Structure 1
Amino acid sequence: MARRSKADMEQTRQALLSSARKSFTDHGYAATAMDELCTAAGLTRGALYHHFGDKQGLLKAVVAEMDVEMDQRLQQSFATANNTWAGLQQRCQLYLEMAQEAEIKRIILQDARAVLGQRSGTESQQCLTSLQSILQELMQAGTIHHTDSEALALLIHGSLTEASFWIADAQDSQQRLKHAVAAVQLLLNGLLVNA
């Protein structure tokens, strides 16, 4: 039997991730059958086990992929701002707005937390790292008070994450989003040196 190339292996991996994301979004993690997911990707269950170990491993990989994509969107939003402070505010608002998107709501805010646990499914390392960098920049510029940037990033990210769960769980998510944005702005304003 011929060995598969790295490109073929990556193509298989991406096909499984894409199929999983669609199925997890449309049906939820619990209702997603591995045989159907593999069939939709045009692959065998063996390929899924080879790349991800099991269904939970597949969910972890989907969450990791989405984390990178979410952080890229947050960074793009940040980059369009007039200054670092405005960028931080835009970034926080976009993070909350993403809680209304079907894929993020279902996979990140519902299934990942339930299946992977409170921390492992929603602890967004990529987002935390970039947020910490922004906070360090604001501290160095004298815009916000000096403190441990990792601790502050964890607190802000935790607040945003909990608010996102609250938004995603609402019948009227737009109203909750409005309240959450106002509350986060109040919290952020408390960081300013010249508030």
Structure 2
Amino acid sequence: MRGPNRRQMYAEQTRADLVTAARKLFVDNGFANTSVEAITGAAQVSKGTFYSHFPDKKAMFAGLYTELLQQVGALSDATCEAIRATGPDQPALTAVADLTHAFLRRTIDDPLHRELMAQAPSVLGEQYRHINDTVAQPPIERLLTALAERGELQPDVPVATVARLLLAGLCEGNQIIAAARNREEALTRTFHALTLLMSGVAADNISARG
């Protein structure tokens, strides 16, 4: 089987260079203040080359945001698999608290995560909800389903609705932390609030706190 030819390799590298340049510029300057010219200048390619890979910079942003949520989704699925491997005598709901904290922690530790999450609602509009619903929510539903199967959630919990509300809380939590003067304090408050919300759906003998 033939591997990629030189032209394909060049195209892939060019696309990667454009994405790398956009990541930095979206973080440093914001989406609105980043032009296609700035991206192509940083990547040292022509505007025509940009448009051969992306229809516009919004599509590039959407791709970066989708990739971010896919990474978080992979962490959620890994947590789900770990839960399924946990013995029945070991409560696993705290794994959701750990994942929640890790997501919120990225708001402080990862500038790209912070800025993409903060800018996505205004940049993407209705597409923001679509990406969240199709990329981010299903892994959360799978995680909650694994907990429900273990009896760690209330028996009448509507999993899809809780997943959507939890995702909304995580996204809003990013906004709160990103805008705070003291992000560490904001992280503590936001995490505490979300664990209290999760406690409401936990089975009576299970703690949602990590």
192, 201, 205: which one aligns with 1:182: 192
CA contact (8 A) 1:63 1:108 kept: yes
Which segment is superposed worse, 100-109 or 21-30?
Answer: 100-109
Amino acid at match of 2:124: L
More contact order relative to length (CA 8 Å, sep ≥ 6): 2
Contact 1:74 1:95 in 2 (8 A): no
The answer on whether the counterparts of 1:75 and 1:91 sit within 8 Å (CA) in structure 2 is: no
Letter in 2 for 1:150: A
Q: Indicate if the aligned counterparts of 1:74 and 1:94 stay in contact, CA closer than 8 A.
A: no
Moved more, 142-151 or 152-161: 142-151
CA displacement, residues 20-71 of structure 1 (integer Å, 9 cap, x when unaligned): 0011111111221222211221322112212210111111112112222333
Residue from 100, 113, 132 that aligns with 2:121: 113
In the other structure, the counterpart of 2:44 is 42
For 2:191 and 2:103, the matched residues in 1 are separated by 10
TM-score between the two structures when normalised by the length of structure 1: 0.85
1:67-78 aligned at under 5 Å gives the runs 67-75=69-77
**Aligned mate of 1:136, from 132, 142, 145:** 145
Deviation at 1:118, TM superposition (A): 6.5
Q: Check conservation: 1:78, 1:88, Cα contact below 8 A.
A: no
Taking the aligned partners of 1:10 and 1:74, their CA distance within structure 2 comes to: 29
The residue number in structure 2 matching 1:31 is: 33
Counterparts of 1:159-174 in structure 2, within 5 Å, are 159-174=169-184
Establish whether residue 149 from structure 1 lines up as the match of residue 151 from structure 2. no
Deviation at 1:5, TM superposition (A): 4.2
Once the two structures are aligned, what percentage of the paired residues are identical? 22
**Residue 171 of structure 1, CA deviation:** 0.9
Check 1:22–1:74 CA distance in 2 against 1; reply closer, same or farther (3 A cut): farther
**Cα distance in 1, alignment partners of residues 65 and 172 from structure 2:** 17
Q: CA deviation at 1:107?
A: 2.1
Among residues 81, 84, 92, which one is paired with 1:84 in the alignment?
92
Runs of at least 5 residues in structure 1 that lack an aligned partner in the other structure: none
Aligned match of 1:12: 14
Q: Could you say what secondary structure the match of 1:120 adopts?
A: helix
Shift of 1:12: 2.3
Match of 1:94 among 93, 97, 102: 102
> What RMSD over aligned residues (CA atoms) do the two structures have, in Å?
2.5
Alpha-carbon displacement from aligned partner over 1:160-184 (angstroms, at most 9, x marks no partner): 2112211111111111111111111
My pick for the range that moved more, 96-105 or 170-179, is 96-105
Structure 2: which 5+ runs fail to align? 206-210
**Partner Cα separation in structure 1 for residue 171 and residue 38 of structure 2:** 32
Q: What secondary structure is seen at the aligned counterpart in 1 of 2:51?
A: helix
For the 8 Å contact 2:73–2:135, the answer to whether it is kept is yes
